[in-house]
Amino acid sequence: MKTVLPAPDISRAIVRIAHEILERFNGADSLTLLGIPTRGAHLATRIAKAIDAIEGGQVAVGTLDVTMHRDDLRTRSPKALLPTVIPSAGVEGRNIVLVDDVLFSGRTIRAALDALGEIGRPMTVSLAVLVDRGHRELPIKADFVGKNIPTSRSEIIKVNLAEVDGIDEVTISEGVAK
Amino acid sequence: MKHLLSINDLSREDAILILDTAAELARISDGPMKKLPTLRGRTIVNLFAEDSTRTRISFEAAAKRLSADVINFAARGSSLSKGESLKDTALTLQAMGADAVVIRHPASGAPARLANNQWMTGAVVNAGDGTHEHPSQALLDAFTIRKHLAKGAADLSGLRVAIVGDILHSRVARSNVLLLTKLGAHVTLVAPPTLLPFGVDSWPVTISYDLDSVISSVDTVMMLRIQQERMHEIFFPSAREYTRYYGLNRDRVNSLKPKAIIMHPGPMNRGLEITAEAADSARSVIVEQVSNGVSVRMAILYLLLGGAPIESGN
């Protein structure tokens, strides 16, 4: 197991993503961050804090659980649902930034787009991820990336965040070859 | 979990998973997402060989909110009324490709018979069988109690629940005793001796014949319907006497603990086991039980059908 992103790099990546998001949308007024539980939700909260520190306001932040919209539900045992919290401003006409920890096949994000479509019609939807590890199975790309980490399919990327794992770090390890 | 036939099939953790899933489904369907695509393309058959309004509608609403296709199959107007056997009905459902059957049947054990023979491969959900069990009702009752009284706890530890009335004929009472005690609640059954089932002293409950001595100490009072359709003998001298001793009226509502809630699985006999005033009082959660029922049944259907098939079809 090798650490590819230590804690200081994660903090810097979050601040940089916050700046990039603000630059793209000319401020935080129309912005809503939606994190995908579990770790994406914590990342969204951290990016929101960084945005608030820069702008001095309070950017809308929530969570979006995609379990019920996944296309691989029937290949595993049913999972417990995680919280979905949509900020009071809703999604209608907003610039939504989805936040997740790792972008891999893109299927989670496809499910998130479907879930979002059920709720309303945002002005734009973009995607921020801490790690993009490649191997997309769908035409989906991230707009804001903490770090691109080229991997082989069998490797395992693990994002640890202090809120859930007690430590901030991203590790890579050799998985079992399929 | 392949079927839901009895509360006995569930561990405490299974039950809590169902309640937690229902809580999250209630939150998202009250708010942003009315309809979820999770069971798209799955077929759920509601097989109701006995009359029911709220359970059937509740299962139908739950299935539709999860985008399943629903086929309603009632006793009247189907071959069941022509004397078709359960086996032939099951084979028909199998041939139609039912992924799940929600069954209500006047014979205790009919859902288990459907599940444990090789007649069909789908999941079986017991929606009330004879005087045996009604697990989804118990789950929605536990959900309602937990929401009002558990103060954020996962189970019902320390809560006291009185179940009052026709215990003898009540599948709701049976399932509730099993589930509520599994979740840590203390259950007291209150009924005249004639309306308690044989062997009730071996149940994990306290038994009382006197509602007035129990009512002020419980957190939830659950009134049961006097099931006249199942009463072929005389169980109490008169309806008026039953009401006087076991009915929930204004005085008894006033002696409840400040936060205690009133429940009834419906349909109510207003004026018999519960007065209109008690049924419509601010402490009554009877209408809320119905809406919670949809969320709980969505959770049951999702957990039974949402994942990978447990026995692969090939």
Question: Which domains are present in chain B?
Answer: 7-132+291-305 (3.40.50.1370), 135-289 (3.40.50.1370)
Q: What is the mean pLDDT of residues B64-73?
A: 93
Phi, psi of A118, deg, nearest 5:
-70, -30
Burial profile B24-55: b = 16 or more Cβ within 10 angstroms, e = fewer = bbbbbbeebbeebbbbeebbbbbbbbbebeeb
Q: Is residue A161 part of a domain?
A: no
Q: What is the pLDDT of residues B148-174, one digit of tens each?
A: 999 999 999 999 999 999 999 999 999
Query: Nearest by CB to B307, which of A69, A73, A91?
Result: A73
pLDDT of residue B52: 86
CB atoms within 10 A of CB B67: 15
pLDDT of residue B30: 81
Q: What is the mean pLDDT of residues B27-56?
A: 89
pLDDT of residue B74: 78
Q: Is residue A178 part of a domain?
A: no
Q: What is the mean pLDDT of residues B177-203?
A: 96
Structure-token match 């007035």, residue found: B212
CA distance B209 to B233: 20
* 3-class state of residue B183 by DSSP: coil
A61 secondary structure, DSSP code: E
Q: Is B272's pLDDT higher than 90?
A: yes
Most A-contacting residue of B28, B295, B303 (CB-CB within 10 A), to test interface: B28
Q: Is residue A64 part of a domain?
A: yes
Q: How many domains does chain A have?
A: 1
Phi, psi of B43, deg, nearest 5:
-110, 125
CA distance B123 to A155: 37
Q: What is the pLDDT of residues B140-154, one digit of tens each?
A: 999 999 999 999 999
**Closest-CA residue in chain A for B2?**
A77
Share of chain B above pLDDT 70, in %: 96
Instruction: Establish if B25 touches chain A: CB-CB under 8 angstroms.
Output: yes
Which are the contacts of B198, defined by CB distance < 8 A and separation ≥ 6? none
Of residues B94 and B160, more confidence is placed in B160
Contact A73 B24 (CB under 8 A): no
Give the H or E element holding residue A127. strand A124-132
Which residue from B53, B154, B49, B34 is spatially nearest to B101, judged by alpha carbons?
A: B49
pLDDT of residue B191: 96
Contact A84 B24 (CB under 8 A): yes
In sign, the C-alpha dihedral spanning A36, A41, A43, A46 is positive
pLDDT of residue B311: 47
pLDDT of residue A3: 95
Q: What is the pLDDT of residues A99-125, one digit of tens each?
A: 999 999 999 999 999 999 989 999 999
Instruction: Establish if A89 touches chain B: CB-CB under 8 angstroms.
Output: no
Q: Is the peptide bond before A139 cis (omega within 30 degrees of 0)?
A: no
pLDDT of residue B172: 96
- What Å distances lie between residue B59 and A166, B90, B112, CA to CA? 42, 19, 19
Query: What distance in Å separates residue A115's CA from the closest CA in chain B?
Result: 8
Q: Is residue A176 part of a domain?
A: no
What is this structure's pTM? 0.90
Q: What is the mean pLDDT of residues B190-208?
A: 95
Instruction: Establish if B313 touches chain A: CB-CB under 8 angstroms.
Output: no
Contact B33 A115 (CB under 8 A): yes
CB atoms within 10 A of CB B204: 11
Q: Is the peptide bond before A124 cis (omega within 30 degrees of 0)?
A: no
Q: What is the mean pLDDT of residues B85-102?
A: 90
CA distance B155 to A53: 40
Of residues B232 and B247, more confidence is placed in B247
Q: Do B128 and B55 contact (CB within 8 A), yes or no? A: yes
Q: What is the mean pLDDT of chain B?
A: 92
Q: Is residue A112 part of a domain?
A: yes
Q: How confident is the model at residue A71 (pLDDT cuts 50, 70, 90)?
A: confident
Query: Nearest by CB to A81, which of B24, B34, B66?
Result: B24
Q: What is the mean pLDDT of residues A32-47?
A: 97
Instruction: Establish if A115 touches chain B: CB-CB under 8 angstroms.
Output: yes
Q: What is the mean pLDDT of residues B289-295?
A: 95
pLDDT of residue B314: 29
Q: Is B36's pLDDT higher than 50?
A: yes
pLDDT of residue B313: 34
Question: Which residues of B fall within a CB distance of 8 Å from A80?
Answer: 17, 20-21
A85 secondary structure, DSSP code: B
**In terms of C-beta density within 10 A (0-12 exposed, 13-18 middle, 19 or more buried), how is residue B232 classed?**
exposed
Q: Is the ipTM of this complex over 0.90?
A: no
Q: How confident is the model at residue B242 (pLDDT cuts 50, 70, 90)?
A: very high
The neighbouring-strand residues paired with B103 are B47, B126
Q: Is A178's pLDDT higher than 70?
A: no
Q: Is B308's pLDDT higher than 80?
A: no
pLDDT of residue B309: 63
Range of the domain at A17: 8-151
**Closest-CA residue in chain B for A118?**
B33
CATH of the domain at A44: 3.40.50.2020
Q: Is residue A133 part of a domain?
A: yes
pLDDT of residue A177: 56
Q: Is residue A167 part of a domain?
A: no
Contact A73 B20 (CB under 8 A): no
Q: Is B212's pLDDT higher than 50?
A: yes
